[in-house]
Amino acid sequence: MEYQEFIAYVRQHILEYMENPVDTVAEVHQVVKNNGVVLDGLSIRRKDARLSPNIYLNSFYEAYEEGRDIEDILSGIAEQYMSLNMDLDVAPEDIYDFEKVKEHLIVRLVSFQANEKQLEECPWIPFEDLAITFRWLVSMDEAGIATVLITKKELGQWDITLETLYDLALANTKRLFPAVIHPLGTMLAGYLKDIVESMEKTDRFAMNVKDDIVEYIAGEKYRPPLYVLTNEQGINGATCMLYGDAIDAFADSIRHDLYILPSSVHEVLLLPDTEEMSKEELLEMVHEANDTVVFDCDILSDAIYYYSRNEKSVKKI
């Protein structure tokens, strides 16, 4: 099937794989994501439901092209939907009631250049080459988060200033999405340990080298000394670049100024300025990652940044 045929087939048949599909409708609509990436979102909802999460079909079509059976794909979509929170206790019109949403307004850091068109419709604040945008956090649980972009219409309805919105939303974001900083080597070691342990029963080589590899990556021999700055949820954690107190405390603890490398919208890498790597090398690292590894909708910036303990500020290099 071609892509549009696949989309139509999923919409027509997905309810056959759902539990209790009575009074349930399936719809497909295009959603503009970060950096202008357009995805096809499938929503399945009861006819009386006000909100429903999206499942994006683009990656499922890629799996279909790679040979995954269409029936297996439909089962996977249905399973994913049933694992989500389908009963959101909110109404779309709640967004116009400031008292109902004020504790759930958050900030999000995005690329200015890649989102310039979308920014024409919403309030935002410049941050170097990036833009601070605002969202309503509709739900957050183990399945993920659901948010709605705040537009100029909502800000006008609330009758508050942009500065007031920023102060409130930043405080909420720090509370709801606390910053965490981990050594990159320790994080990679954890991932590697899980992968290798899954191989142990069938791969004797993995059993023999696991401990040595994990200790090497997590230990002092790992270079460069990179750290990962994100939030506890690991979702849109690059926004922690706005948490000046967290960055300042970390920089003071290691007694170094910091290079900040935008790994993706979900995290940034912190590199102590020990003059071991040049700015050109760091820029090349960021460019190569964005070109080869990071999904288009997850790219934050091609720039690198610097945090000075004296100035207590993040500046683009």
* Tens digits of residue pLDDT in 262-287: 999 999 999 999 877 788 999 999 99
Q: Quick one: tokens of 131?
A: 């833009």
Tell me which of 30-39, 187-196, 257-266 is least confident. 187-196
Residue 136: φ, ψ to 5°: -95, 120
Given a cut of 90, is residue 194 above it in pLDDT?
A: no
Q: Quick one: tokens of 152?
A: 């100029």
Provide the pLDDT for residue 260: 96
Q: How far apart are CA 190 and CA 181, in angstroms?
A: 15
Section 307-311 average pLDDT: 95
Q: Quick one: tokens of 151?
A: 């537009």
Strand partners, 224: none
Strand partners, 259: 271, 306
Contacts of 137 (CB under 8 A, 6+ apart): 104, 105, 106, 145, 146, 147, 172, 176
Given a cut of 80, is residue 85 above it in pLDDT?
A: no
Long-range contacts at 287-294 (CB < 8 A, ≥ 24 apart): 289/263, 294/263, 294/264
In one-letter notation, the amino acid at residue 222 is: Y
Burial class from Cβ neighbours inside 10 Å (0-12, 13-18, 19+) for residue 98 reads middle
Q: How far apart are CA 287 and CA 281, in angstroms?
A: 10
Burial class from Cβ neighbours inside 10 Å (0-12, 13-18, 19+) for residue 38 reads exposed
| Of 317, 293, 297, the residue nearest 307 (C-alpha) | 317
Q: Residue 197 in 3-state DSSP? A: helix
For tokens 């999460």, the residue is: 53
More confident residue, 122 or 47: 122
Q: Quick one: tokens of 244?
A: 């000046």
Provide the pLDDT for residue 225: 81
Helices 70-83 and 3-13 pack at an angle, to 10 degrees, of 60
Q: Quick one: tokens of 178?
A: 């606390």
Section 71-88 average pLDDT: 80
Task: Give residue limits of the domains in the chain.
Answer: 3-83, 92-176, 179-316
Strand partners, 135: 106, 149
